[in-house]
Amino acid sequence: MKQIALILSLFVSMTVLSQDALLTNTDGRKNVSLNGKWHYIIDTYETGFYDYRYKERKEDDRSAYWNRNEQKAKTDLIEHTYTDENSLNVPGDWNSQDRQFLHYEGTVWYQREFEKPQLSDNEQVYLYFAGVNYEAHVYLNGKKLGTHKGGFTAFNFKIPTNLLQEKGNFLVVKVDNKRHSDEIPTLNTDWWNYGGITRDVKLVIVPKNPIVQYDIHVDQKQDILASIKKKSFDLSGFVKFDTSADSKIVVEIPELKLKKEFPVKGDSIAFSFKTPNISLWSPENPKLYEVIFTNGKQRISEKIGFRKIEVIGKKIVLNGKQIFMRGISIHEEIAQQIRRAHSLDDAKQLLGWAKDLGCNMVRLAHYPHNENMTRLADEMGLLVWSEIPVYWTIDFGNPEVLKKAEKQLEEMIDRDRNRASIVIWSVGNETPVSEKRTVFMSTLAKKTKLLDNSRLVSAALEVNHKDNKNVIDDPLGAFTDIISVNEYLGWYVGLPNDCETAVWEVKYDKPFFISETGADAKAGFHADKLTRFSEEYQEWYYQEQIDMFSRFPDNFSGLSPWILCDFRSPKRNNPLYQQLWNRKGLIADNGQKKKAFFVLQEFYRKLKASGK
Ligand code: GCB
């Protein structure tokens, strides 16, 4: 009995501490931004968390950094407090905000106050974080709301209403971006480990039993060409409530004069219905419809596009037509300011450059990007590859690590499942072939399909090079819809003109996609084409690669070269050309386009003109 009680209380404390089901479309709900200046304390030794015996501090310990600690009398001993002098902007990485943070990896405490928002009797408040890198512990008025791990996915906590004060709510977040071998990503990445509350924070005001998530999409089972012909489409989806309800849900698409009602019993319902003519979403026609979900007084709406993506034989087919993906890979970074990208303006800059290059697709590497990116991609008509940071050599044999990867996968899909632009979920990048790894990665691929069968699943694989023969036989290819590979023929292997004689062997009869290819060039460094790091070398590399692609068989379905912009990486230490930058950008750290940009732009212009 005692044991059961113990297990029960453990379970309760675990559930209290992990986050609540993610509210999606938070901008489509009543919300109050908590962006702005937050106080901070750098805590390398985690003194605010552990006492001098290195035990986690008790909740009411005044020295815990989640507690208010002001000197009232001159005899009071105070060893920490938050002050205006030490403030950081939220959203934003800490590295770019003050020189002392440039290489910092560790704990920083963030603190701010807020007023209780106006609430009616039937309303409650969630505290929503769009992204904190990597581990967050969240406290309000001295009580722990919960924790979250994963630097690129959103999470939220329900705030118990009795915890909210009218004024001066004391909110503290312990943020820790230390890398660990059993986390995702792991110790080793070729990108900067920007720390902090890197994305928006807000209070979201919702009814007592909110619709937490919903989904509406073109049903995958229908023959889309027949639907186009008949002018009749099957839509399906679901609505999830926080807890059970006995009511009804109304789904409306005003532009289509469509209004459907479904009874709700339990905490979720699946629905499907027919609708007359829809203008399907595509890069050429990024049509979005306002969709409204109503449950009693609760009403939530957003703009959603409808399309069908599938693989037929060796082709990628969008709305019944074969497509070729003219892509580019992008990191979530604004190079000119050496910082993480987070805002709509940042998204406009990055996706605007991709459009300028002639792209109809972007690979958002190597982790889920902020929501501005995927929403803007919907509006601009850019197909999206979205990925979880299962990168290089993860601890594949560890079941706990698999759980962490699965959680990030779920969080990525939960947030963005209504984005028509996203056509590929990627479960990882360049993971080294082994039995354990293939079990791990194929589990993720299968889980992706279970979570969402309306998109393709992929992973960026590696190539086996031998004597200019390039073989793709990774067993993970059996579990993905398309075969995507990263290849650097002419940079890490041989010279660019090796492309002329390269032989390619792909073991799978599936669409073939080049998810990366690229070479470093320092903008403004000019030399003959054989000189590494010159713009001429990079230009030559792209020319040779493009010639090679024209000899690829017809399952070649697109490419997303590496990469749109130069980006920061602690691994790049050539003192003349790199200086902690990966220089494979087609655009330099000052925004200047390199020669290779125009080579790829011309290739994409010709492809487009030829109908691809
Ligand atoms: C890769 C990785 C990417 C690196 C790139 C490079 O294959 O997927 O993250 O940045 O190569 O520049 O080496």
The CATH number of the domain where 329 resides is what?
3.20.20.80
Give me ligand 1 centre to Cα 498, in Å.
20
Report the atom number in ligand 1 closest to the C-alpha of 486: 7
Cβ of 516 closer than 6 Å to ligand 1, yes or no, is yes
Q: Are residues 198 and 330 in the same domain?
A: no
pLDDT on residue 14: 39
Contact 489, 545 (CB under 8 A): yes
Give me ligand 1 centre to Cα 198, in Å.
23
Q: Are residues 24 and 109 in the same domain?
A: yes
Report the atom number in ligand 1 closest to the C-alpha of 516: 7
543 falls within a domain: yes
532 falls within a domain: no
Mean pLDDT of 123-127: 98
pLDDT exceeds cutoff 80 at 5: no
**Structural domain for 259, as ranges:** 221-307
388 falls within a domain: yes
pLDDT on residue 612: 87
Task: Give the model confidence (pLDDT) of 251-280 as tens digits.
Answer: 999 999 999 999 999 999 999 999 998 999
Give me ligand 1 centre to Cα 518, in Å.
9
Cβ of 190 closer than 6 Å to ligand 1, yes or no, is yes
107/175 Cα distance (integer angstroms): 5
387/427 Cα distance (integer angstroms): 6
Mutate to test the pocket of ligand 1, among 192, 516, 567 (most ligand atoms within 8 A of CB): 516
The predicted model scores a pTM of 0.96
Contact 229, 211 (CB under 8 A): no
Q: Are residues 202 and 226 in the same domain?
A: no
Q: Are residues 286 and 330 in the same domain?
A: no
Cβ of 177 closer than 6 Å to ligand 1, yes or no, is no
pLDDT on residue 3: 42
Q: Are residues 97 and 24 in the same domain?
A: yes
**Residue 258 belongs to domain with CATH number:** 2.60.40.10
ipTM of the assembly? Answer: 0.99
Q: Are residues 120 and 262 in the same domain?
A: no
> What is the percent of the chain with per-residue pLDDT over 90, rounded to a whole number?
95
Mean pLDDT of 173-185: 98
Cβ of 484 closer than 6 Å to ligand 1, yes or no, is no
pLDDT exceeds cutoff 80 at 4: no
Sign of CA dihedral 51, 57, 61, 66: positive
**Residue 159 belongs to domain with CATH number:** 2.60.120.260
* Protein residue with least CA distance to atom 7, ligand 1: 486
235 falls within a domain: yes
Q: Are residues 226 and 140 in the same domain?
A: no
526 falls within a domain: no
Cβ of 584 closer than 6 Å to ligand 1, yes or no, is yes
pLDDT on residue 16: 43
pLDDT on residue 155: 98
Where is the domain boundary, 160, 176, 207? 207
10 falls within a domain: no
589 falls within a domain: no
471/479 Cα distance (integer angstroms): 18
pLDDT exceeds cutoff 90 at 346: yes
Q: Are residues 391 and 506 in the same domain?
A: yes
pLDDT on residue 17: 58
Element (H, E) at 170: strand 169-176
Question: Residue 402 phi/psi, 5° resolution?
Answer: -60, -40
Give me ligand 1 centre to Cα 190, in Å.
6
525 falls within a domain: no
Q: Are residues 30 and 145 in the same domain?
A: yes
Mutate to test the pocket of ligand 1, among 388, 533, 562 (most ligand atoms within 8 A of CB): 562
Mutate to test the pocket of ligand 1, among 385, 427, 582, 583 (most ligand atoms within 8 A of CB): 582
Where is the domain boundary, 276, 307, 338? 307
pLDDT exceeds cutoff 90 at 2: no
pLDDT on residue 10: 38
pLDDT exceeds cutoff 80 at 7: no
Mean pLDDT of 231-260: 96
3-state secondary structure (DSSP) of residue 234: strand
* Protein residue with least CA distance to atom 9, ligand 1: 190
* Protein residue with least CA distance to atom 3, ligand 1: 190
Q: Are residues 284 and 137 in the same domain?
A: no
Task: Give the model confidence (pLDDT) of 286-324 as tens digits.
Answer: 999 999 999 999 999 999 999 999 999 999 999 999 999
Number of domains in the chain: 3
Q: Are residues 34 and 117 in the same domain?
A: yes
Report the atom number in ligand 1 closest to the C-alpha of 366: 9
Q: Are residues 417 and 348 in the same domain?
A: yes
Q: Checking phi first, is residue 351 left (phi over 0); if not, alpha (psi -120 to 50) or beta?
A: alpha
pLDDT exceeds cutoff 70 at 522: yes
Give me ligand 1 centre to Cα 562, in Å.
7
Where is the domain boundary, 281, 307, 333? 307
100/258 Cα distance (integer angstroms): 56
pLDDT exceeds cutoff 70 at 94: yes
Mean pLDDT of the chain: 96
